[in-house]
Amino acid sequence: MKIVILGAGQVGGSLAEALASERNDIVLVDSDEKTLRELRDRIDIFVVIGHASHPDVLMEAGIEDADILVAVTNNDETNMAACQIAHSLFRVPTKIARVRASSYLQYPELFDNQAIPIDVLISPEQLVSEYIARLMEHPGALQVLDFADGRVQLVTVLAVQGGPLVGHQLRYLREHMPKVDTRVAAIYRRNRPIIPQGDTVIEAGDEVFFIAARADIRAVMSELRRLEHGYKRVIIAGGGNIGLRLANKLENRYSVKIIERSHERCVFLSEELSHTIVLHGSASDQELLLEENIEDTDVFLALTNDDEANIMSSLLAKRLGARKVMTLINNRAYVDLVQGGEIDIAISPQQNTIGSLLTHVRRGDMVNVHSLRRGAAEAIEVVAHGDERTSKVVGKKIEDIDLPEGASIGAIVRETENGSEVLMAHDDVVVQSDDHVIVFLVDRRQTRHVEQLFQVGFGFF
């Protein structure tokens, strides 16, 4: 597939990297020569220097025969203009753009082929704030990902000594909780993946990925670690777009305080938010944190756009007694550095954004793609089409499906007459047409095989 990416920032760069390794033709357009050169030296892509929305620059990037345009420059208007031009002049079939400003996002009817032709809108701020809101729902989880509109979730937890299942074989889970249906999709032990079998023993320190219906998540987590109390008091450092959106989402259920450096922004925040307490000051000001009872805070979220400031204020908050700290980190090198130490959860905005971009870039009918473990692993929700003759999965039992090495099916969501049904992928479940199949891949390079597996063969149409 030929993909043109506009903007070589953090999102554009990581997306190019992720896609280039999947045998796509990637053209990256940016006005900054230095960044482009660095990327070109590292990954196998074609680069064009110039203003991203100018038709001549786009033409140079080969927009005429591109399948997908991804506009992720820092400027909303440039992204929108580029999509408009790609649509009007070059008839690009799929146009994906990042639009940040909520004033635009308020009017979904704006993004339509008659007005601004954008097929898919990506708003990293929105994705990240939704992601954090999900994490807040399940205290103790390292990661919570939605499938099938949130009916099924993939949760990552660290197994801790004291959880009933720790030190036991996986099949013990079934005996212990006969009513709860769940499936462990993968276990990472000392950063190495293990494909779980019934006799796999869970050890303390294992990172366990399991899939379950939303209502069962809490029960499964209680098997792997002692359950934590629900969160109540939240302090957010940084009142940018992510902080504001998150505070808006959380303020009715939690007691939220938000710390912001700029007084002008504070006034704006206090107008937008109704129950949140807006504090003017620096998040790394020890006096301020103590005054606001940091020691009784359940979650401290560092969400400014400065990685170093986030890390420092998180470390300080943890030292002063915050129960959990979550930190927004853009620089991928830092993520490995800090996660699991003083900082409980490192949140990488690119990983979120890339997952949702990949959904649209992939072949096959992908509903959700979540990039995991810094892009090494992946969880995908794919729809099975066709019938027994044309499809390699429909009509087969799960144990008979020829999955590539390192891939496992976690669950199936089936639309029935009385609503949708969540089936855990036990070996004897038979896949039907239009099932949403949730597949976990330990190695992202296997994605192509999964795509092929779910593609409908000739003769279907």
Partner 1 sequence: MRIAVIARVFGILLTVFSLTLLPPIAVSLWYDDDTHSAFVAAFAITLITGLFMWLPVHDLRQDLRTRDGFVVTSLFWLILGSFGALPFIISPQPDLSITDSIFESISGLTTTGATVITGLDSLPPAILYYRQQLQWFGGIGVIVIALAILPMLGIGGMQLYKAEIPGPVKDTKLTPRIAETARALIVIYVILTILCGIGYWWAGMTVFDAVGHAFSTVANGGFSTHDASMGFYAHNRAIMVICILFMFTAAINFGLHFYAFRNKTIKHYWRDSEFRFYVMLILGAGLLISCYLWILNIFSPGNSLLHGFFQVVSISTTAGFASENFSAWPVFLPYALLLLGILGACAGSTSGGIKVVRGMLILKSGLRELNRLVHANAVIPIKINRKIVPNRITDAVWGFFAVYVLSFFILSIIVIATGEDFVTAVTTVASCLSNIGPALGDAASHYGAVNEVAKWFLILAMLMGRLEIFTLLVLLTPAFWRH
Span from 13-21, 266-274, 404-412, 426-434 in contact with partner 1 (CB under 8 A): 266-274
Gap between the Cα atoms of 43 and 203, Å rounded: 38
Of 204 and 277, nearer to partner 1 (C-beta) is 277
Does 164 bind partner 1 (CB under 8 A)? Our answer is no
Closest distance to partner 1 from the beta carbon of 245 (Å): 18
Closest distance to partner 1 from the beta carbon of 233 (Å): 13
User: Distances in Å between the alpha carbon of 102 and those of 53, 125, 276?
Assistant: 22, 10, 20
Closest distance to partner 1 from the beta carbon of 278 (Å): 5
Closest distance to partner 1 from the beta carbon of 48 (Å): 45
Kindly write out the interface string for residues 345-374 of this chain, putting x where it contacts partner 1 by CB under 8 A and - elsewhere.
Answer: ------------------------------
Strand 436-441 versus strand 182-189 pairing type: unpaired
Closest distance to partner 1 from the beta carbon of 266 (Å): 4
Among 6, 80, 127, 278, binds partner 1 (CB under 8 A): 278
Q: Are 438 and 380 within 8 A, CB to CB?
A: yes
- The pair of structure tokens assigned to 68 is 């997908």
Among 168, 280, 360, 449, binds partner 1 (CB under 8 A): 280
Closest distance to partner 1 from the beta carbon of 265 (Å): 9
Q: In degrees rounded to 5, what are phi and psi of residue 271? A: -75, -40
Closest distance to partner 1 from the beta carbon of 309 (Å): 17
Does 267 bind partner 1 (CB under 8 A)? Our answer is yes
Span from 19-27, 157-165, 262-270, 343-351 in contact with partner 1 (CB under 8 A): 262-270
Does 105 bind partner 1 (CB under 8 A)? Our answer is no
Among 277, 376, 383, 401, binds partner 1 (CB under 8 A): 277
Give the residue among 338, 377, 123 at the shortest CA–CA distance from 131: 123
Closest distance to partner 1 from the beta carbon of 89 (Å): 44
Q: In degrees rounded to 5, what are phi and psi of residue 239? A: -105, 40
Q: Are 251 and 274 within 8 A, CB to CB?
A: yes
Span from 9-17, 142-150, 272-280, 399-407 in contact with partner 1 (CB under 8 A): 272-280
Does 174 bind partner 1 (CB under 8 A)? Our answer is no
Q: Are 6 and 13 within 8 A, CB to CB?
A: no
Q: Which of residues 289-328 bind partner 1 (CB under 8 A)?
A: 291-292
Gap between the Cα atoms of 372 and 355, Å rounded: 9
Does 434 bind partner 1 (CB under 8 A)? Our answer is no
191 three-state secondary structure: coil
Q: Are 361 and 68 within 8 A, CB to CB?
A: yes
Span from 1-9, 264-272, 333-341, 377-385 in contact with partner 1 (CB under 8 A): 264-272
Does 50 bind partner 1 (CB under 8 A)? Our answer is no
How many residues are there in the chain? 461
Closest distance to partner 1 from the beta carbon of 272 (Å): 9
155 three-state secondary structure: strand
Does 288 bind partner 1 (CB under 8 A)? Our answer is yes
Span from 69-77, 104-112, 230-238, 260-268 in contact with partner 1 (CB under 8 A): 260-268
20 three-state secondary structure: helix
Gap between the Cα atoms of 107 and 130, Å rounded: 19
Q: Are 237 and 310 within 8 A, CB to CB?
A: yes
Dihedral sign from CA coordinates of 453, 454, 455, 456:
positive
Span from 28-36, 140-148, 286-294, 295-303 in contact with partner 1 (CB under 8 A): 286-294
Contacts of 255 (CB under 8 A, 6+ apart): 232, 233, 234, 275
CA angle 20, 26, 31 (to 5 degrees): 120
Closest distance to partner 1 from the beta carbon of 327 (Å): 22
H/E run at residue 271: helix 263-272
Q: Using CB under 8 A as the criterion, which residues of the chain lie in contact with partner 1 when the complex forms?
A: 257, 263, 266-267, 269-271, 274, 277-281, 288, 291-292
